[in-house]
Amino acid sequence: MGHSPSVSGSLRNRLVLSLIGGAAILAVLLFFVVRNYAAQVAQQGQDNILRASVTSILDAAAIREGEVEVDIPYAAFSMLGTASDDRIFHAIYQDARFLSGYPYLPMAAGRGRESTFATVSHQGEAVRVVTASRVLIADGKRTNVRVALAQTQDALSGQLEQISKNAALLGAGFFVLAILLSFWATSATIGQLKRLTDAVTRRGPQDLSPFQKPVPSEMLPLVTSLNSLMGRLDQSLGQSEDFIAEAAHRVRTPLATVRSYAEATLQRLDKEENRQDMRSMMRAIDESSRAAVQLLDHAMITFRSDHLERQDIDLAQLVDELVVRLTPIAEMKDLTLHYESDGPVPYSGDPILIQNAVRNLLDNALKYAPIEGTVTIAVSATPQVVINVCDSGKGFPDGELETLTSRFKRGANAEGTIGSGLGLTIAMDVASAHGGVLKLSNQPEGGACAQLLF
């Protein structure tokens, strides 16, 4: 039957890959967002402590006897204690004059009361430095006290490491979950397609009715097209069936009429010359008639094979009926029809097709068997259902056993015999429609054998 269409990628793979890819991008994004946010919060934590500390130092600044006095509260440094024992540095300035602390400590830019923060390098380490100032007034003179306070970031980077680890875990967990979900979503989606495929596959040979089961909206166009295709197919099949019946009727009847006229005319003709012509004409009519019948048979068989309708039948009985029907023809040719069967042979198949096939084989055998010859028909159920038709004629020409079943192909020894070359083709088509084969062979003692193996 049909050839398999070429495959271009896989919907499932495409869907899974794009979902996983999306999940990977989201996971990485999630990692960076969470880490950045957490880093910001952690940095804010350090900044808040630094601000509180520097504020308490500034609060302790006073002017006494014209001199700036700063009594750093113990808590100011104490609150900067961290688990990682971060180093702290400070510097106190009066206006631009250095008063105490670390003179080379870089200050954060910025003016006014607001605390300003910066991350700078001091003594070879990255430190977070806060700078704040306060105006003191004594004896009507304004003086600006500025304090810078710095802390290393060992605890912070430890915290960040932990946060990064957690964020990475979160991202990885999200990714794994997304992979599982994408597999689930993909198989749920592909499942719908598979269900439709199963529904198409499961259908009987004659079932061309539209699909009624609900499908997802995305698959609606496909199912609609499929339904309309099947509708057209059903219609055209019906048409061709009608055409075959019509053609059979129209061709057979006139030919039969022509032949009866020809036969009547032959009776009236006296001149041997004319009688000869008329016989030739009758032969031609017979040949046409037979060809037409076989052509129609073949068309019918092709149609029925496509829509094989199996019934439980008894092959022995079926063949027996045929033999009975053909016996008169055999006797006209002085042939003996020898029928062998060992009881009923039950088989599930299309009786019309099988009958047709056997009749064609018998026709051939009767045609090619010599006068006073024997045609043997055997039906057996074991070891395999087989119908055997043998004649005592010349046998199949050597080297043509393979090609004889082709349409319109006649054997090299068929000259002088009426035939269309369709008989074996029909038999073979019927056999293969039932899942069987037609086997042709020559008997060693002469004569051709055709075997229908089911």
Please state, in angstroms and as integers, the Cα–Cα distance from residue 395 to each residue in 245, 414, 418, 419, following that order.
Answer: 35, 11, 17, 16
The window from 16-24, 78-86, 239-247, 395-403 that contacts other proteins (CB under 8 A) reads 78-86
**Contact call for residue 398 and other proteins (CB under 8 A):** no
3-state SS, residue 438: strand
Q: Which of 19, 52, 102, 237 binds other proteins (CB under 8 A)?
A: 102
Q: Is 322 in the site for other proteins (CB under 8 A)?
A: no
Helix/strand/coil for 163: helix
- Which one, 74 or 202, has the nearer CB to other proteins? 74
Pairing of strands 336-341, 374-380: parallel
Minimal distance in Å, beta carbon 109 to other proteins? 23
Candidate list 87, 275, 307, 410; residue touching other proteins; CB under 8 A: 87
Rounded Cα–Cα distance for residues 233 and 113 (Å): 89
Q: Which is nearer to other proteins, 86 or 350 (CB)?
A: 86
Stretch of 35-43, 87-95, 175-183, 381-389 lying at the interface with other proteins (CB under 8 A): 87-95
Q: Which of 18, 40, 48, 100 touches other proteins by CB under 8 A? A: 100
The full DSSP string for 204-265 is: -TT--PPP-S---GGGHHHHHHHHHHHHHHHHHHHHHHHHHHHHHHHHHHHHHHHHHHHHHH
Nearer to other proteins, 105 or 278 (CB): 105
**CB count in 10 Å sphere of residue 347:** 21
Structure tokens at 362: 């018998």
**Residue with Cβ nearer other proteins (4 or 121):** 121
**Minimal distance, residue 68 CB to other proteins, in Å:** 7
The dihedral built from the CA positions of residue 353, 356, 358 and 364, taken in this order, carries a sign that is negative
Applying CB under 8 A, does 69 fall inside the site for other proteins? yes
* 85 vs 312 by CB, closer to other proteins: 85
Q: Compute how many residues bind other proteins; rule: CB under 8 A.
A: 30
Show the tokens assigned to 233: 């197919």
Question: Which of positions 240-259 make contact with other proteins (CB under 8 A)?
Answer: none
Q: List the x/- string, 117-156, binding to other proteins by CB under 8 A.
A: ------xx--------------------------------
Query: Helix, strand, coil % (nearest 5) of the chain?
Result: 50, 20, 30
**Span of 35-43, 73-81, 126-134, 444-452 interacting with other proteins by CB under 8 A:** 73-81
Stretch binding other proteins (CB under 8 A), from 42-50, 63-71, 222-230, 260-268 = 63-71
Q: What is the DSSP letter of 6?
A: P
User: Which member of 23, 30, 92, 404 binds other proteins (CB under 8 A)?
Assistant: 92
**Is 68 an interacting residue with respect to other proteins (CB under 8 A)?**
yes
Residue for token pair 């035939």: 419
C-beta pairs of 51-56 under 8 Å, 24+ apart in sequence: 51/115, 51/130, 51/132, 52/79, 53/77, 53/79, 53/80, 53/130, 53/149, 54/115, 54/130, 54/131, 54/132, 54/147, 54/148, 54/149, 55/115, 55/132
By CB under 8 A, residue 74 contacts other proteins: yes
| Residue 438 and residue 427 in contact, taking contact as beta carbons nearer than 8 Å | yes
Residues of this chain that bind other proteins (CB under 8 A):
68-78, 80-81, 84-90, 92, 98-104, 123-124
